[in-house]
Amino acid sequence: MNTAAGRPVYLDYAASAPLEPRVAELMCACLRDPALQANPSAVHRPGRAAAAVVAQARARVAALIGAGPEAIVFTSGATESVNLAVLGTVRAAPAGRGHVVTARTEHRAGLEACRELERAGHPVTWLRPDAGGRISAAQVGAALRPDTALVSLMHANNELGVLTDLVAIGRACAERDVPLHVDAAQSAGRVPLDVRESGVALLSFCAHKLGGPKGIGALYLRRRPRPALRPLLFGGGQEGGLRPGTLATPLIAGFGLACEIAVGEIVKEEPRVRALRERLWAGLQPAAPVWRNGAAEPSVPGILNVCFPGIEGESLLFALDGQLAATSGSACSSASGEPSPVLTAIGRSELAAQASLRLSLGRHTTAAEVDAAAALLIAAVQRLRRAAPPGAIERIA
């Protein structure tokens, strides 16, 4: 069963949210405007016109997280922001102060950046989440050492949606004067976020998870005290030398508007999407046994991760193909087929991880879509269970 337009029900907002139509219109206007084609670093009038668009957008992006525009460094996306924060801070730290605290449940951007530091000889403490997928402030506090250069944790987990308690963890880091970096790619624009409350030193996010374009992200860099950062890229002096390269006016403009829209709609959208998620969860109960992966709350509103024990993941995806777009627990970011390390870290077996789906909802998701998705899932799961040899549901979980 498809949506009216014959397209699959899109429940993959956590991988990428559709571009907000108003953002698309602004970007198209910007792409076509002869007066906005110049390099925003150029000092001539067309350059200044482009720079003014960038400046306005920078203020909007900053406002999403309660920051000032001078605290925003534009990057190509969350991956680059996370790498700049993690590698940049630790590489800039004085010799002998290179310890990092992070978690096994981070997005691969953070995970792999920390592994790169480990390869370079930096000690890394890998925190394990509880069964709900959360890291506690007490765990962080206990992991801090005199040589800790950085704590890097995500705000909302991209697979489970569970939220980290930034205020408590921020306090634990502040007590020990350790900068805290937060990967907020999944929470920015989806739950209220204010860097002044949590005292984070660095915060990464990107546009395409919140209705903005792909190819642009931001790193928030606290002003006082300002964390020292070694750039990843070198070149023209853009972004205070921290991130050289010609600024992409239309992308930045779109990012800015997407942030402004998110700020305006979050109060209405957050409970709406949360209610739809719970409606989906309730609607899936006829497919029992069905398990929920990760704690239900606190969480971002739009992520539901479910396990259908006894189901083979690739067949489930194939059964849904063209009807429901979601992400399998065996293919979180690619077609690798490896079971999700997040799901195994919270105690799921490899087979249960492969029998899991992340269903992620967002601004354009409707109740009708949720109901359709539930019906599709129930039908596919029941059909595959009927096809399996007797005993499979019990053994494969």
Partner 1 sequence: MEYSEEVRRLFDTLPHCGELAAGAGPIVAGEAAELERGAWLRFEARLADGAIVDAAFRAWGCPHTLAAAALTAARLPGWRAGTPPPVDARSLAGELAVPADKLGRLLVLEDALQSLLRRASELQSAPPGG
Ligand X SMILES: Cc1ncc(COP(=O)(O)O)c(C=O)c1O
* Interacting residues with partner 1 (CB under 8 A): 43, 310, 312, 314-315, 318-319, 335, 351, 383-384, 386-390, 392, 395-396
- Are 205 and 218 in contact, with CB atoms under 8 Å apart? yes
Q: Is 94 in the site for a copy of itself (CB under 8 A)?
A: no
Choice between 232 and 393, CB closer to a copy of itself: 232
Q: Which listed option, partner 1, ligand X, a copy of itself, none, makes contact with residue 268 (CB within 5 to 8 Å by class)?
A: none
3-state secondary structure string, 112-133? Answer: HHHHHHHHCCCCEEEECCCCCC
Nearer to a copy of itself, 25 or 175 (CB): 25
Q: Which residues pair with 180 in a beta bridge?
A: 151
Of 144, 145, 152, 148, the C-alpha closest to 111 is 152
Shortest CB 240 distance to partner 1, Å: 18
Point out the residues that are catalytic.
Answer: 332
Which of 232, 375, 379, 392 is the binder for a copy of itself (CB under 8 A)? Answer: 232
Residue 21 sits in the site that holds a copy of itself (CB under 8 A): yes
Q: Is 78 in the site for ligand X (CB under 6 A)?
A: yes
Binding mask 81-110 for ligand X (x = CB under 6 A): -x------------------------x-x-
**DSSP at 155:** S
Which of partner 1, a copy of itself, ligand X, none lies near 292, with the C-beta cut-off 5 to 8 A by kind?
A: none
To the nearest whole angstrom, how small is the minimum distance from the Cβ of residue 33 to a copy of itself? Answer: 9
Q: Which residue's structure tokens are 């992308």?
A: 251
Q: Are 343 and 353 in contact (CB under 8 A)?
A: yes
349 binds a copy of itself (CB under 8 A): no
Q: Are 134 and 160 in contact (CB under 8 A)?
A: no
For residue 185, state whether it binds ligand X (rule: CB under 6 A).
Answer: yes
**3-class secondary structure for 1-48?**
CCCCCCCCEECECCCCCCCCHHHHHHHHHHHHCHHHCCCCCCCCHHHH
Q: What are the residues binding ligand X (CB under 6 A)?
A: 77-79, 82, 107, 109, 154, 158, 183, 185-186, 206, 208, 245-246
